[in-house]
Amino acid sequence: MIVVRIIMNVLPEKQKEVLQTLHSLIASPGETEDYLSYGIFCDLEDHNIFNLISEWETRKHLDHHLRSDRFRVLMGTKSLLFEPLRIQIFPVSDTEGMETVNSMRKKLKPIYPI
């Protein structure tokens, strides 16, 4: 699996336009985009910063997306940004879930005995 984080620092007056563009880039159900998940998040401290987080099954799927018209539209938002896009690509070789959290919590000793 591959996780991609795209950080966008949007010009305040272009925030609505960028958000509309981002929503249009998410494939509708049944379309052929091969992502596992795709989310748009706004920074709690600075509402002009958006984070796009996507998960891809394989590098091949991600590479296909990076060559797509949808990604070209995203790259075209540069005139609406305060600074250039920052893109981080994280190859993930192993993931853990709630089972790990529950297991670790069972091992914790209470700080204040009841």
In 57-107, where do the E strands start and end? 86-91
Residue 114 pLDDT > 60, yes or no?
Answer: no
Confidence tier at 99 by pLDDT (50, 70, 90): confident
Per-residue pLDDT, 93: 87
CATH architecture of 2-107: 2-Layer Sandwich (3.30)
Question: pLDDT for 17-49, tens place per residue?
Answer: 999 999 888 766 556 668 888 899 999 999 999
Q: Where are the domains of the chain?
A: 2-107
Distance CA 28, CA 36 (A): 13
Residue 111 pLDDT > 80, yes or no?
Answer: no
| Cβ atoms of 39 and 54 closer than 8 Å | yes
| Cβ atoms of 21 and 73 closer than 8 Å | yes
Question: Structure tokens of 66?
Answer: 């990076």
Integer angstrom CA distances of residue 93 from 35, 38, 101, 107:
17, 19, 19, 26
